[in-house]
C-alpha cells in the first residue's frame, strides 16, 4: 500500500511540474494572453481541471473541455445512454459522466483523472495500437475516432447519408431545422437510425464543364469539421480566418472527365490514354447545404513551400463573429451568424507540443490547461497566436 501511495505521489509531482511548465511556456510565448487578476480563494470555479500524468494526454484533455462546451452533445449522450443496449460501462455512459463532471462547479484548483478513465474505457472496447495513448495524437482526428466509436456502439444498422440534393431540399421544405439540433434522428424508415451531431453539416459540390456546359450531379458530403489552410494573402480589413474561408468556398478549375464532351481536345489527340481525351476543365464550386448549431474549423498551419510543408509561426487572426450566409446554397437563408464559443490551441509540431482549450462559461472566458483552470483577462477568445480548432455557435 505504501509503495502504491509513493508511486501516486511521484506521478503527481511529475504531472504538476509538466502542468506548471506548460503554463509558464504559454504565458511566455503568448504574452498577449494574460490571466485575470487573482480571484478570491473562496470563489468556486465552474469547470474542473484534468490531470495529465504522462504529459501526452493534453490532446484528450483539450478535446474533453471542448466537448463539455456543447450542451447538445451532452444531451445526445444522455439520451443514448438510456437506450436498452447501452450499459453503464459503455463508452457513451463513460464520456457522459466525464463531461458532466467537468462542468460541475468545484473548488479552485480541483482536477480529476478524466483522460485515464476514457483511455481505459476505449481500450476495453476496441483494439488500440500499442503506443496510441503514450504518444500525442491529433486532437481533431481523435474527436472523429471518438464519434465513430460512439456511433458504432449505438447504431444497429449502418448510417445512410443523404445522396441526392432533392432529399435535402425536401427536408428543408418540410420545415425541419436547417442545423443539427442536438437530437437523435431516425429516418422515415424505422430501420435506419443515426446520430446527428450538433456540429455536423453538409456541403454541396457542383461541377460544370466549361466546354459543353453540362453539369454533373451535385454531390452532398457530410462533415464534422471544416479544414482551413493558411493563406499566404494578408488583408488590412479581413482576418486570416475570413481570407482562408473565402478561398475555401471560391470557385476553382479542375480537370475531370466529361461524358458529354464528344470532341477530344486537340492537345490530347496524341495521348494514348482514352480517359485523358475526354478530360475537360470544369468549374468546381462548394457551398453549405445544411448548417450545424456549432461550426468547427480545423486550422491547418502548414504552409507549402519549395522546401516542403512548414508550420507557420506567424500570428493567425480570426473574428469573434462570422456570417456564413454568403457560402450557403439556399439564398433565402441570407444570414447565418456564428459567434466564437471555444477554441483549442496548439503549439509545437505535429506529434509534439501542447494543447489546451479556451472556453466561454456564462460569458466569461476560461483557459483550461490540463489541471489548471483560470479566468482569462480578455473579454473574448481572440488573440491566440495559433488556434487549432475554432468552434463557433450559431446565434440567430
Among 68, 114, 228, 258, which residue interacts with Zn ion (rule: CB under 5 A)?
258
Among 25, 169, 184, 261, which residue interacts with Zn ion (rule: CB under 5 A)?
261
Residue 157 touching Zn ion (CB under 5 A): no
Contact stretch for Zn ion (CB under 5 A) within 45-53, 114-122, 278-286, 321-329: 278-286
Among 67, 77, 209, 340, which residue interacts with Zn ion (rule: CB under 5 A)?
209
Residue 389 touching Zn ion (CB under 5 A): no
Minimum CB distance to Zn ion smaller for 130 or for 213:
213
# chain residues binding Zn ion, by CB under 5 A = 7
Minimum CB distance to Zn ion smaller for 101 or for 208:
208
Residue 212 touching Zn ion (CB under 5 A): yes
The answer for residues whose C-beta is within 8 angstroms of residue 25's C-beta and 6 or more apart is 347, 354
Contact stretch for Zn ion (CB under 5 A) within 56-64, 111-119, 130-138, 277-285: 277-285
CA proximity to 60, closest of 370, 343, 367:
370
Minimum CB distance to Zn ion smaller for 216 or for 311:
216
Minimum CB distance to Zn ion smaller for 116 or for 261:
261
Nearest-approach distance from CB 204 to Zn ion, in angstroms? 20
Minimum CB distance to Zn ion smaller for 195 or for 258:
258
Minimum CB distance to Zn ion smaller for 192 or for 212:
212
Residue 303 touching Zn ion (CB under 5 A): no
Among 89, 260, 263, 377, which residue interacts with Zn ion (rule: CB under 5 A)?
260
Which cell numbers hold the place of 282?
Answer: 470544369
Nearest-approach distance from CB 212 to Zn ion, in angstroms? 3
- CA-angle at 196, arms to 192 and 201, nearest 5°: 120
Residue 211 touching Zn ion (CB under 5 A): yes
Minimum CB distance to Zn ion smaller for 21 or for 211:
211
Residues that bind Zn ion (CB under 5 A): 209, 211-212, 258, 260-261, 280
Amino acid at each position: 500500500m505504501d509503495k502504491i501511495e509513493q508511486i501516486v505521489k511521484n506521478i503527481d509531482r511529475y504531472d504538476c511540474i509538466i502542468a506548471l511548465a506548460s503554463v509558464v511556456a504559454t504565458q511566455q510565448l503568448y504574452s498577449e494572453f494574460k490571466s485575470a487578476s487573482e480571484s478570491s480563494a473562496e470563489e468556486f470555479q465552474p469547470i474542473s481541471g484534468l490531470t495529465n500524468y504522462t504529459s501526452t494526454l493534453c490532446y484528450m484533455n483539450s478535446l474533453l473541455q471542448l466537448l463539455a462546451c456543447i450542451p447538445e452533445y451532452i444531451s445526445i449522450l444522455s439520451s443514448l445512454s438510456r437506450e436498452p443496449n447501452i450499459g453503464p460501462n459503455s463508452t457513451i455512459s463513460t464520456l457522459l459522466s466525464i463531461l458532466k463532471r467537468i462542468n460541475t462547479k468545484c473548488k479552485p484548483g480541483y482536477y480529476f483523472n478524466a483522460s485515464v478513465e476514457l483511455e481505459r474505457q476505449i481500450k476495453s472496447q476496441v483494439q488500440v495500437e500499442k503506443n496510441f495513448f503514450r504518444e500525442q495524437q491529433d486532437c481533431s482526428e481523435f474527436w472523429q475516432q471518438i464519434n465513430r466509436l460512439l456511433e458504432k456502439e449505438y447504431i444497429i444498422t449502418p448510417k445512410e447519408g443523404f445522396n441526392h440534393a432533392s432529399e435535402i431540399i425536401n427536408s428543408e421544405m418540410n420545415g425541419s431545422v436547417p442545423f443539427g439540433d442536438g437530437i437523435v434522428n431516425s429516418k422515415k424508415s424505422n430501420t435506419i437510425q443515426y446520430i446527428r451531431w450538433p456540429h455536423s453539416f453538409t456541403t454541396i459540390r457542383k461541377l460544370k464543364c466549361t466546354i459543353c456546359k453540362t453539369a454533373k450531379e451535385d454531390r452532398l458530403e457530410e462533415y464534422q469539421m471544416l479544414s482551413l489552410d493558411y493563406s499566404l494573402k494578408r488583408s488590412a480589413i479581413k482576418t486570416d480566418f475570413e481570407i482562408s474561408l473565402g478561398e475555401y468556398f471560391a470557385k476553382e478549375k479542375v480537370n475531370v472527365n466529361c461524358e458529354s464532351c464528344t470532341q477530344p481536345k486537340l492537345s490530347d489527340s496524341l495521348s494514348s490514354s482514352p480517359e485523358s481525351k475526354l478530360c475537360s476543365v470544369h468549374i468546381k464550386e462548394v457551398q453549405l447545404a445544411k448548417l450545424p448549431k456549432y461550426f468547427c474549423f480545423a486550422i491547418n498551419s502548414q504552409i507549402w513551400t519549395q522546401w516542403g510543408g512548414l508550420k507557420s509561426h506567424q500570428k493567425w487572426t480570426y473574428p469573434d463573429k462570422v456570417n456564413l450566409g454568403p457560402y450557403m446554397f439556399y439564398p433565402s437563408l441570407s444570414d447565418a451568424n456564428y459567434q466564437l464559443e471555444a477554441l483549442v490551441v496548439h503549439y509545437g509540431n505535429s506529434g509534439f507540443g501542447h494543447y489546451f482549450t479556451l472556453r466561454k462559461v456564462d460569458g466569461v472566458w476560461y483557459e483550461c490547461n490540463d489541471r489548471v483552470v483560470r479566468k482569462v483577462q480578455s473579454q473574448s477568445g481572440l488573440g491566440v497566436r495559433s488556434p487549432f480548432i475554432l468552434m463557433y455557435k450559431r446565434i440567430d
